[in-house]
Every structure is written in structure tokens, then in C-alpha cells.
């Protein structure tokens, strides 16, 4: 059963300061699924429709058309809300509490039994390195501390699905590493995590699959391996004669010699086929193959540049 199922979801904003003929289409016929236990990256430039999608999943706004389901129940269903944790991009917490007091307040709202609250709060304060600041007023917290406290609040009731909107925007490098470690532990526990982020390196390091949104439409979706086209292929051979090097040069491959090895860089599949055919004809074995694939950044910019204005 998918943790998230989105079917032809669309949202058009009409009226107000965004008034425009026909309204502003923030999301157009989005369909995707996120499986239970998956860490799923949701990417796109500003204005792509990411936050609109999250607000639709949380039932904070209503779709113009289409449907969203969490654990096969409509978004906004009371049972689903109990299984959901959410960290917004801008963390606005009740700052008249201390850190511990705030978590105690939310523990009551989420229905955690009184006897279990102190232990759970202590666990999260330790997990997010907030033990020393637990009794300090939230007004004295830095942006990074507020981000960590907001994440602790989202995890408080041990949800099955976490929706995180730019969760590391205020964290320093140490905090970001801790965040990645926490996500991997949640994955080990078979929790589902849906992350919207601009920090592509973090998404690349933890996500099982990614979706890239551009101008309100789904541009790409899949694992990094599925989305990454080879940029080039290097074939390394040993003991190549000068006559063969001349023949290889005619294939348009780039050739370099070092330490008794010849490296043949093939920039496209057609060149690779020519080189492999030539080597097979000359009975020259390939010692190893090195494939340079696209990074998530390459995939991201390729996806958003392919979307033209509607």
C-alpha cells in the first residue's frame, strides 16, 4: 500500500493579488506514488508547486481537481492525521514555552499518555542535541535550534509518515549531518519520509527516489540510477600498439596513455559501440570500464530546462 497516492491533482489560484485571466495554475495534473518505508525527494525551483502540493496533502487547501490519499484514505482524514508528522519551511512555535514545555504541550495535543511523555521528550531532546537548552525559553533559541525543535515536535508522536518542507535550511553542516543520520534511522524503522528541499546534495545522499516539479508539472520521477544518463564511458585497455591507437582516433574517442594503460573516453553511445567493435576485431580485451553518470544537479537542471512556458 502506498503511503502517498496523488491522482491528477491540480490547483489554480483565483482572485486576490494573484489575479490573472483564468487564475494562476500552481499545479497541473500531478500523479505519483510514494511507497511505505521510502525516503522520497520532492524537488523543483521556487514557484514549481512543491509547497502547494504539500498543503494539499495536509488538507490545508482544497484541490481544483484530482485527489490525494495517505495510506489509502483521503488527505485530511482524522485517522490519517494521527499517523502524520509535519515540519513546515518556516518554523513558528509557541515561544512563551521552554523547549521542554513546548514538547510537553504538543505531547498532550497528540494524545501521548502522561506516563510516557517525559521519556519520549527526553529521548528527542537528546536526539536533537537540545538537552542543555531544554529549560531555556524558545525566544532564546537560534534558527538552527528552532529547526531542530520543530523536527522533534514532528517526531513526537512517532508518526508513520513525515512531510518535511526545507528541513535543513537553518542548520549548520554538523546539524545537516545529524539530520541525514536521523533520516537513515527512520528508514531503518520503515518510516516514510517525504522531503521538499533545495539542497540537492542532501537529497542525493538519502533519498530512494526523487520527483522533479517544474512549472506545476511533473518533469521527472525515479531513482537516481533510472534518471541518470551516462555522461561518458571510459574503456581502459593494456598493451595497445600504435596502429590500433590510430584506428581508435578515427572513432572520435579521446585517447590518453599512462602507466602502460590506454584510456579511451567515449562521449556518446555511438562512439562506444565503434570502439568496442574495433577492440573485439583486434582481440584486445577491455581491462575495465568506468562510467561517469549525471549528478542529481545535472538531472535537476536538465529537467527544469526542458519545461517550456505554457
All structural domains of the chain with their residue ranges: 2-225, 230-293
State the DSSP H helix or E strand holding residue 127, giving kind and residue range, or none if neither: helix 114-127
**Would you say 133 and 164 are in contact if contact means Cβ atoms under 8 Å apart?**
no
Q: What integer pLDDT is reported at residue 18 of this predicted model?
A: 47
Architecture of domain 2-225: 3-Layer(aba) Sandwich (3.40)
Q: How big is the CA angle at 275 (ends 269 and 281), to the nearest 5 degrees? A: 135
Mean pLDDT across 224-242:
77
Q: Is 287 helix (H, G, I), strand (E, B) or coil?
A: coil
Q: Closest by alpha carbon to 70, among 81, 85, 86, 55?
A: 81
**Would you say 159 and 191 are in contact if contact means Cβ atoms under 8 Å apart?**
yes
pLDDT score of 291 more than 90: no
Residues in the chain: 310
User: How confident is residue 73, by pLDDT bands cut at 50, 70 and 90?
Assistant: very high
State the DSSP H helix or E strand holding residue 78, giving kind and residue range, or none if neither: helix 78-81
d(CA 272, CA 75): 49
Q: Closest by alpha carbon to 241, among 282, 281, 287, 288?
A: 282
pTM across the whole model: 0.79
Q: What integer pLDDT is reported at residue 256 of this predicted model?
A: 86
Q: What integer pLDDT is reported at residue 310 of this predicted model?
A: 44
Q: How big is the CA angle at 48 (ends 169 and 305), to the nearest 5 degrees? A: 105
State the DSSP code for 137: B
Q: What integer pLDDT is reported at residue 308 of this predicted model?
A: 53
d(CA 227, CA 295): 10
Could you tell me the fold of the domain covering 230-293? Answer: Alpha-Beta Plaits (3.30.70)
d(CA 219, CA 213): 5
Q: What is the mean pLDDT of the chain?
A: 88
Q: Closest by alpha carbon to 36, among 140, 234, 186?
A: 186
Residues of the chain with pLDDT > 90, as a percent, come to: 55
201-216 burial by CB neighbour count: b if 16+ within 10 A, else e? ebbbebbebbbbbbbb
Mean pLDDT across 154-164:
96
pLDDT score of 17 more than 50: no
* Alpha carbon 154 to its chain's center: 18
Cα distances (angstroms) measured from residue 23 to each of 11, 15, 17, 19, 217: 10, 7, 11, 6, 16
pLDDT score of 68 more than 90: yes
Mean pLDDT across 139-148:
92
Q: What integer pLDDT is reported at residue 248 of this predicted model?
A: 86
Residues of the chain with pLDDT > 70, as a percent, come to: 93
Task: Give the sign of the dihedral formed by CA 245, CA 250, CA 251, CA 254.
Answer: positive
pLDDT score of 15 more than 90: no
User: How confident is residue 231, by pLDDT bands cut at 50, 70 and 90?
Assistant: low
Q: Is 232 helix (H, G, I), strand (E, B) or coil?
A: strand
Mean pLDDT across 276-299:
85
pLDDT score of 55 more than 90: yes
| Tens-digit pLDDT profile for residues 94-142 | 878 999 999 999 999 988 999 999 999 999 999 999 999 999 999 999 9
Amino acid at each position: 500500500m502506498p503511503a502517498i497516492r496523488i491522482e491528477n491533482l491540480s490547483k489554480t489560484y483565483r482572485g486576490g493579488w494573484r489575479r490573472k485571466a483564468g487564475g494562476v495554475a500552481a499545479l497541473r495534473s500531478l500523479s505519483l506514488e510514494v511507497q511505505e518505508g521510502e525516503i522520497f525527494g520532492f524537488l523543483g525551483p521556487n514557484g514549481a508547486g512543491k509547497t502547494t502540493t504539500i498543503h494539499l496533502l495536509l488538507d490545508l487547501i482544497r484541490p481544483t481537481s484530482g485527489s490525494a490519499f495517505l495510506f489509502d484514505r483521503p488527505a485530511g482524514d482524522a485517522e490519517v492525521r494521527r499517523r502524520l508528522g509535519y515540519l513546515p519551511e518556516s518554523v513558528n512555535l509557541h515561544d512563551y514555552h521552554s523547549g521542554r514545555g513546548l514538547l510537553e504541550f504538543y505531547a498532550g495535543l497528540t494524545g501521548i499518555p502522561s506516563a510516557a511523555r517525559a521519556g519520549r521528550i527526553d529521548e528527542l531532546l537528546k536526539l536533537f542535541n537540545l538537552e542543555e537548552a531544554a529549560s531555556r525559553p524558545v525566544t532564546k533559541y537560534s534558527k538552527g535550534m528552532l529547526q531542530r525543535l520543530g523536527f522533534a515536535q514532528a517526531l513526537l508522536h512517532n508518526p508513520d509518515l513525515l512531510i518535511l518542507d526545507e528541513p535543513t535550511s537553518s542548520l549548520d553542516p554538523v546539524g545537516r549531518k545529524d539530520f541525514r543520520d536521523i533520516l537513515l534511522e527512520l528508514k531503518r524503522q520503515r518510516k516514510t519520509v517525504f522531503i521538499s528541499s533545495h539542497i540537492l546534495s542532501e537529497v542525493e545522499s538519502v533519498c530512494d527516489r526523487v520527483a522533479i516539479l517544474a512549472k506545476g508539472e511533473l518533469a521527472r520521477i525515479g531513482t537516481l540510477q533510472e534518471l541518470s544518463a551516462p555522461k561518458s564511458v571510459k574503456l581502459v585497455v593494456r598493451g595497445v600498439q600504435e596502429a590500433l591507437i590510430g584506428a581508435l582516433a578515427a572513432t572520435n574517442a579521446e585517447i590518453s596513455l599512462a602507466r602502460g594503460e590506454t584510456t579511451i573516453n567515449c562521449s556518446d553511445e555511438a562512439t562506444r559501440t565503434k570502439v568496442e567493435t574495433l577492440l573485439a576485431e583486434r582481440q584486445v580485451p577491455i581491462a575495465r570500464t568506468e562510467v561517469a553518470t549525471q549528478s542529481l544537479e545535472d538531472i535537476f537542471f536538465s529537467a527544469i530546462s526542458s519545461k517550456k512556458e505554457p
